[in-house]
Amino acid sequence: MAEKNEFIKSQMVKKFNDEIEKFHLGPLWNALPDLMNKEPEPQAVPYLWKWETLYTKLMKAREIFTPERGGERRAIYLQNPGLKERKPWGWASATQTLYAAVQLILPGETAPSHRHSQNALRFISKGQGSYTIVEGERIFMQEGDFLITPQGLWHGHAHPGDKPIIWMDVLDIPFVYAIGGTFFESYPETIQKPEIPDNYKSRRYPGGMVRPVSDRTPQIAPLSSFRWSRTQAALEGLSNFEPDPYDGYAVEYINPSTGKTANPNIAAWMHKLPAGYHSKAHRHTSSTIFHVFKGSGYSVIGGVRFAWEEGDFFIVPNWAWHEHAASEDTYLFSVSDYPIMEKLGLQHEESYEGYQKIISEFKPLLPDRS
């Protein structure tokens, strides 16, 4: 009898649910366990792209696309396989909040100036001699440099050098899209002309630890590029101390007028992991994109071992256990949505007891040989 009553009740619930759906209404009692899971259940998955694959595809892309108005940039983005079906906000996402790409520009090429509400940053992986022009400042690029283009600033790229250059782009596209804040505008001419001397801002901050007094008032980008030689020197200085248990020797790129992250919404760090370093494992709500600038080693992410070497990119989704081990002296560049989580009061972290047990080995996709 009780069973029969249960059955009738569930039929009534189902009928009710179907009925209100027509009115664009939904029953919370059906949705709650999925809507409010006990802890983050990221849709992004851990993943790794080999440099060889990215490089090969970029070299093909040079035959089929030249930077021009509309398409704007010769960039190939990292599509997290776990987010692929999740349009619109999962589209072109490396993590649930961040977009990442590799961009190639050839000598003589110009990528038109534009501006957008998304924050952008670039890390120069291979090559030198091109410049980005941000609000009239030409910033010339060298390998290992870190450049920012915070939201709303005009920027275009050109390459007066003699060899191709490849850099990494990271933008908060999925996040800005998801919350409905997307704006984009083309510059009236192809590329903005210089309005201030070249590399002006990095020359105003040669020391790193002092700032011009006029820059006490917060500005969005008082310093627009961070030279590799300075970053490396900062890490050398840290080497006399104990490394961070999770991140090795690591420095964060900051805005010298505020002391906060160089770019709003996106944090960028450079890690130095000495040969033999093996970090402790932990997890946090922020998600991270790693780029192996120099060196080799592996990371264990959610029990899966990801071997990496120079040029590779990999993803640590939010709330995934992870630890890193270096086989040789390694520089890892990392980018995360830490500032977003922090501003929203959602940054949480947990440490893991001991090392993770390795359950499998990630097999990266390599380009076809044909």
Question: Which residues of this protein are in contact with ligand GTQ, per CB under 6 A?
Answer: 73, 75, 101, 103, 116, 120, 155, 169, 171
CB distance 147 to 141 below 8 Å: yes
Bridge partners (DSSP) of residue 74 are none
CA–CA separation, 357 and 271 (whole Å): 24
Sign of CA dihedral 25, 30, 32, 33: negative
CB of 274 to ligand GTQ, least distance (A): 32
CB of 31 to ligand GTQ, least distance (A): 35
Of the two residues 116 and 271, which places its CB atom closer to ligand GTQ in the complex? 116
251: left (phi over 0), alpha (psi -120 to 50) or beta: beta
Of the two residues 107 and 208, which places its CB atom closer to ligand GTQ in the complex? 107
Of the two residues 156 and 222, which places its CB atom closer to ligand GTQ in the complex? 156
Of the two residues 103 and 265, which places its CB atom closer to ligand GTQ in the complex? 103
The pair of structure tokens assigned to 340 is 């977003």
CB of 152 to ligand GTQ, least distance (A): 12
Q: Could you give phi then psi for residue 92, rounded to 5 degrees?
A: 60, 40
CB distance 18 to 71 below 8 Å: no
Of the two residues 137 and 169, which places its CB atom closer to ligand GTQ in the complex? 169
Bridge partners (DSSP) of residue 116 are 184
CB of 244 to ligand GTQ, least distance (A): 30
CB distance 175 to 107 below 8 Å: no
Q: How far is CA 305 from CA 80, 94, 166, 355, in A?
A: 17, 19, 27, 12
Of the two residues 249 and 313, which places its CB atom closer to ligand GTQ in the complex? 313
CB of 37 to ligand GTQ, least distance (A): 32
CB of 185 to ligand GTQ, least distance (A): 11
